[in-house]
Amino acid sequence: MNQQSLTVNRYQLRAIRTDRTKQLGNGFDLPVLGLIGEIGSLLSEVKKKQRDSRSYLGYETSVVEEMGDALWYLAVIADHGELPLATIAASAQGDGQEPMFDGEDIELLSLQPQPPLPLHAPTAAFERTLLQLAGAVGRLAEMSAQGGLPADRAGLLAHLASIFRFLLTAANEAGITLHQAATHNLKKAADRWPEDRNFSTDFDQDFPIEEQLPKTLKIEIFERTAKNGKTYVVQKCNGLFIGDRLTDNIMKPDDYRFHDAFHYAYAAILGWSPVTRALFRLKRKSETQVDEGQDGARAILIEEGVATYVFGEAKQLDFLEGQGAGDLGFTFLKSVRQFVRGYESEDCPLWLWEEAILKGNEAFRFLKTHRRGRLILDRPNRSLLVESLP
């Protein structure tokens, strides 16, 4: 997309493709609550930056992200009220001001003709505007609580125009543009809810076949009981036993012994799993940096950390029973990917991480219930299946 081509209405059309709130409640409650939350997050960023000053990193990036999320909710609320976002932008000018545009739409970049200078700390003016913005959103929430949003379209337009005006002023005072915020928001949405599900790069494609994760793999996983009465899990592939004998390693048993299902899901769907590489001796030794940096001991520990974190979160949610694509929390998925920052799987989109997590938990639930099963990895089709084992 050409930088100049993103207009206000075009942004709204793309934003509402990821709207999952329209059929819930009265159609306004959730996006209004979401807008309140984003303005609160902006105020929180200001507080943290002032409190922690030098030690707080990522202030500028966070402001752009939160501003983009606020714009998204504003676009969604406007859509629910059958109002084009450009109409709201035009109304936000107020009386006596020179019109920003004469047509039905406007380029986002045209809203701020003079690019502001980036500010690395919040100013008093920015804080004041955010508080005014919070007040305007609060009045919108009151209108929503009284059931007035769908009934009073003119009133809704006036409220949204006021919010847009404060949002634009805040962007200027923060040293960013709404165009930056909007493009970041669309990129974030595509990472989570893409229009086209294109898989990430095959990390093995440039390496010798003997260093690649297998295209397909069948792994049998089942329990055994030792003479001392201790139960453990063993794995077998192509008639050979692989890996260590696994127990739960916790005071209160929780079947963590079957957690390798998560690693196999990462291998099958993400095409990434240092643990699986080590298990099958498939480290990419033809390139020393990749061998040490992507497939080495530290990478293995990182993946184990991911699996442990996912297990702990999923354990509280019945190991994601009944959840499907689009159901996992955005913050949760971001936290998972944060684990692998600096490693190749950082490039995997969030929706693909979600698929890997869901499939890993599906296989885990099967093993937990039946105590044995066969996992079938299909890397070309990015899938993991589990079936009964005689």
Indicate if the pLDDT at residue 93 is higher than 80: no
For 3-192, CATH gives 1.10.4010
Mean pLDDT of the chain: 88
Residue 3 pLDDT class (50, 70, 90 cuts) = very low
The pTM is what? 0.86
Q: Which amino acid is at 138?
A: G
Per residue in 138-170, pLDDT (tens digit) is: 998 888 888 767 677 888 899 999 999 999 999
User: Which residue ranges make up each domain of the chain?
Assistant: 3-192, 209-387
Per residue in 341-375, pLDDT (tens digit) is: 999 999 999 999 999 999 999 999 999 999 999 99
Indicate if the pLDDT at residue 236 is higher than 80: yes
Residue 246 sits at the vertex; the CA angle it makes with 230 and 250, to the nearest 5 degrees, is 75
Least confident piece of the model among 32-41, 110-119, 128-137, 238-247: 110-119
